Chain A
């Protein structure tokens, strides 16, 4: 009697081990628990044939066996269900995600906004000035009268004798002096035009930023300090700056400003022609004539001004090798920014 129960248990354990899916689970369950012909059910039916003094023990043993088999099957069922569900719901997570695509902001426009923000933080007023400008604001009032040789460097598009496409944003110096009383801190950015045919380094249209400060007691040291603060923010806090004497008719003393080469760090490479320095902008102390022409008392106020190509910054920062790319709206280019 005892032996038959153990035998049943052994057979169940063996068959149980073979359960791999619902099919096999069902056949094992039926084999042992089916109302008709299930091994355990059939065995239970033999209870009547058991001598009465053995019946309680047999009955209890069979019930324990049955309960344990049912519990095991139940547990197995949950396992199988979980496995099936997982198999059904499993995603191929390696498929591409939904292509929400961001566009891109234009590298020059983004730099322009960044640069304006830097100057607003430094207490500057941003001027939005016309691109079609009077000769007076672009040249005359900046100490470049007609027939001034410095005009050669800025071949100009003219509408007529008095109107032209601005060749720089330096007109902000004059507009700011006309609109404001010192202390003045003004900046203007935008498109400028020069009559240069397109090539890899020239474009008849490009972007500039010009800055002017006019206050009491402004020195060249102040100009250097402001330049350094600005250039470190635009490029990298680690760059070094160098000023050389330079000439622009609207400033005196004038300066050319170099930064340590951002490609080699100043050691010398092909980008900086082995010099370790890259020319980045022109600056200087406001020319007394320019101040006077716009009604500023140059015995009381002094100031500085500088101008820089934004495209040039973008070219250096991103390593763009051809200025034309900025204005061709080629998405293969734009999408990189």
Chain B
């Protein structure tokens, strides 16, 4: 809300500089976002929170300053007493929905000459950000900016039947509003009708037909109080927010309908030659009582945390126009001004006291802690994963939780369980993601576009799906992506290509670091991974994730031009097995004996089979089996591969004899020969 300092000075002494006013207003809750000179005055851009519609006017802001600086407030006189009105022109008002329109006040003026409003008024409107139109409209806007109460002026001669009927719209009813737009109405909306049809959408905008024009001679002024929720609903539905609806939906002052209409009436008489021609119509079937609240000195002090003097409480609230009645026991019955739409309970009064005590004057204290803190169950897991993967050279990404239609197509994710937003921002963000892979692939692609071919990323985040009963579910996932290189090219390793085993190694290092045992990585399948290396991670007996290279089809869709390796791991699977207790094993007293064997086997024999066969021999002293070389090509028959396997033997009780080790090696070689026809190759 733009507030003119020159205008404020009409209501109270204000020698303060704009900067001082800015600081002081901000500290009582009216944040001043900017100060600028415009139209011969200094304008404060005041951010008024939605609970304080009473401050959406110059008088409202003046009231706060008067209370703060302890100065008297000079308000403009109200209009002529309604009793003195004449009855030359009939003005009948009927309110059919008093719930949505608790009060409707109207009067008619005749002899109005619509022209340009005086210069001082135009300047004040402009300074407050409103465009001057003509005397009558300017006066209603002026009173709005002055008192905060929205008024509307109708061309009386256009109103059919010379009467006003406030009622809900019929479904399918239409009307053209002042902005020239044809609006479709429904039963939830409240209308102001004349004898035959709608002339305004109550509290939102007037109709075009009854607009004030240069030929208008008789004016019907409306000053009403409309139910906030109803105005808000209508304004939202129509996508139409106006100065009037903005105030009504936050709560206008039902006691201000008469003073405001009187003020406007007097200004029209003074500036546009009108004369009051009707009696004041004030339809107000159920009198709304001001809110009254019990305030206890002790609870106010306890909430703020400082002792509050009786005198301070009475004087502060008194300056803010609350009236206090002693209710004994250090309590008061406080009657609130009707413009304070935010007053409901004691806490609201406590805020008034805190505001004027000064938040900055409340001493800080630290409540003693009565319990030990506790992290969320995923905290340790997430942090450890981050630590390990960052150590392995992967950078953490946070991608948007949204997904595109094409993600589901490309990644063949279950489209039926996808969660769709009812009001997405764009087509590209209409679904919640069901997987991390698409976001990571797009992230890689984005980096390729910046000429970075080596990308190693991971992301810990949620994926979203509908559960069996259609209810939305969320699961934490870990996604890892590697492509282009497992490290930066360097003089020792000019082409450190990233391949499947780098990804697998990272996953294994991660699982080891998390102590998530036992796990195994076996051949698997996932539509979006290449059949050549799609693998499945099992932790315990659970399928906990997949890894492999992105299928060529998707690679082409995203125009990747280089292989991309991805893993997706379920958090739940990790969480169940991670952090297994550490059990110390005493250090061996005897040396380890290592032997390498080299065998030639079929190319498609899985290494895991060999491991298993060796393990099945049950050689107690065999503590480690490692694959140290793989060779195919020259000297190796086609379809065969040569493997160098390193065996480590240890007897915890005694030094192993050469003979015992050789026995074991022979047994292993024989077994592999028997099972797979493995030929021993001399090293």
Contact present for A102 and B391 (CB under 8 Å) = yes
CA distance A127 to B376 in the complex (A): 6
Cβ-neighbour of A253 out of B302, B351, B374, B379 (below 8 A): B351
Chain B residue with Cβ nearest A125: B374
- Fill in one digit per residue for B341-379: 1 if any A CB lies within 8 Å of its CB, else 0: 000011110110011000110111111011111111111
Cβ-neighbour of B373 out of A105, A123, A163 (below 8 A): A123
B233 at the binding interface (Cβ < 8 Å): yes
B386 at the binding interface (Cβ < 8 Å): yes
Cβ-neighbour of A159 out of B52, B397, B472 (below 8 A): B472
Binds A, one of B283-291, B415-423, B577-585, B624-632: B415-423
In residues 235-255 of chain A, which contact B (Cβ within 8 Å)? 242-247, 249, 252-255
Known A-B contacts A126-B375, A219-B365, A332-B452; A160 and B390 likewise in contact (beta carbons under 8 Å): no
Residues of A within 8 A of B374 (CB): 120, 124-126
Closest 8 CB pairs of A and B: A219-B305, A245-B29, A221-B305, A329-B443, A120-B373, A123-B369, A247-B49, A253-B351
Chain A residue with Cβ nearest B439: A329
Contact present for A149 and B390 (CB under 8 Å) = no
- Give the tally of cross-chain contacts (CB within 8 A): 252
B645 at the binding interface (Cβ < 8 Å): no
Main SS of the interface on chain A?
A: mixed
Cβ-neighbour of A195 out of B378, B425, B472 (below 8 A): B425
A224 at the binding interface (Cβ < 8 Å): yes
CA distance A150 to B26 in the complex (A): 20
Can you offer 13 A-B residue contacts whose CB atoms are under 8 A? A116-B375, A158-B421, A183-B371, A185-B369, A185-B371, A224-B362, A226-B366, A245-B359, A252-B351, A253-B351, A254-B351, A285-B350, A329-B399
CA distance A71 to B657 in the complex (A): 51
CA distance A246 to B48 in the complex (A): 10
Minimum CB–CB distance from B42 to chain A (whole Å) comes to: 16
Contact present for A103 and B456 (CB under 8 Å) = yes
A168 at the binding interface (Cβ < 8 Å): no
Contact present for A149 and B232 (CB under 8 Å) = yes
Residues of A within 8 A of B362 (CB): 220-221, 224, 243
Contact present for A330 and B450 (CB under 8 Å) = yes
- Fill in one digit per residue for B146-185: 1 if any A CB lies within 8 Å of its CB, else 0: 0000000000000000000000000000000000000000
A130 at the binding interface (Cβ < 8 Å): yes
CA distance A126 to B50 in the complex (A): 31
Cβ-neighbour of A221 out of B365, B391, B440 (below 8 A): B365
CA distance A108 to B461 in the complex (A): 13
* A132, A302, A326, most chain B CB atoms within 10 A: A132
Contact present for A104 and B370 (CB under 8 Å) = no
Binds B, one of A11-19, A42-50, A92-100: A92-100
- Fill in one digit per residue for A196-225: 1 if any B CB lies within 8 Å of its CB, else 0: 010000001100000001010111111011
- Fill in one digit per residue for A146-175: 1 if any B CB lies within 8 Å of its CB, else 0: 010110110001111001010000000000
CA distance A113 to B390 in the complex (A): 15
Q: Which residues of B contact A (CB under 8 A)?
A: 26-29, 31, 49-52, 229, 232-233, 236, 249-250, 302-306, 345-348, 350-351, 354-355, 359-360, 362-367, 369-379, 382-383, 386, 389-402, 419-425, 429, 432, 439-440, 443, 446-447, 450, 452, 455-458, 460-462, 464, 472, 474, 487-488, 490-492
Minimum CB–CB distance from A19 to chain B (whole Å) comes to: 38
A30 at the binding interface (Cβ < 8 Å): no
CA distance A223 to B393 in the complex (A): 41
A191 at the binding interface (Cβ < 8 Å): yes
Minimum CB–CB distance from A328 to chain B (whole Å) comes to: 6
CA distance A115 to B422 in the complex (A): 33
Residues of B within 8 A of A243 (CB): 359-360, 362
CA distance A108 to B462 in the complex (A): 16
Contact present for A125 and B373 (CB under 8 Å) = yes
A22 at the binding interface (Cβ < 8 Å): no
Contact present for B490 and A103 (CB under 8 Å) = no
Residues of A within 8 A of B443 (CB): 328-329
Minimum CB–CB distance from A204 to chain B (whole Å) comes to: 6
CA distance A246 to B50 in the complex (A): 10
Chain B residue with Cβ nearest A328: B446
Classify chain A: how many residues form its interface, as a range: 35 or more
Residues of B within 8 A of A132 (CB): 419, 432, 464, 472, 474
Minimum CB–CB distance from A242 to chain B (whole Å) comes to: 6
Cβ-neighbour of B363 out of A95, A126, A221, A289 (below 8 A): A221
Chain B residue with Cβ nearest A184: B371
Contact present for B397 and A106 (CB under 8 Å) = yes
Contact present for B49 and A124 (CB under 8 Å) = no
Contact present for B398 and A109 (CB under 8 Å) = yes
CA distance A170 to B391 in the complex (A): 34
- Fill in one digit per residue for A64-105: 1 if any B CB lies within 8 Å of its CB, else 0: 000000000000000000000000000000011011111111
Cβ-neighbour of B359 out of A100, A149, A255 (below 8 A): A255
Chain B residue with Cβ nearest A95: B491
Cβ-neighbour of A160 out of B302, B400, B422, B429 (below 8 A): B422
Residues of A within 8 A of B423 (CB): 157-158, 195
Contact present for B355 and A245 (CB under 8 Å) = yes
Known A-B contacts A126-B374, A128-B378, A332-B452; A109 and B396 likewise in contact (beta carbons under 8 Å): yes
Minimum CB–CB distance from B279 to chain A (whole Å) comes to: 36
Known A-B contacts A220-B354, A226-B367, A252-B350; A104 and B395 likewise in contact (beta carbons under 8 Å): yes
Residues of A within 8 A of B372 (CB): 123
CA distance A264 to B480 in the complex (A): 40
Known A-B contacts A221-B365, A331-B455; A123 and B371 likewise in contact (beta carbons under 8 Å): yes
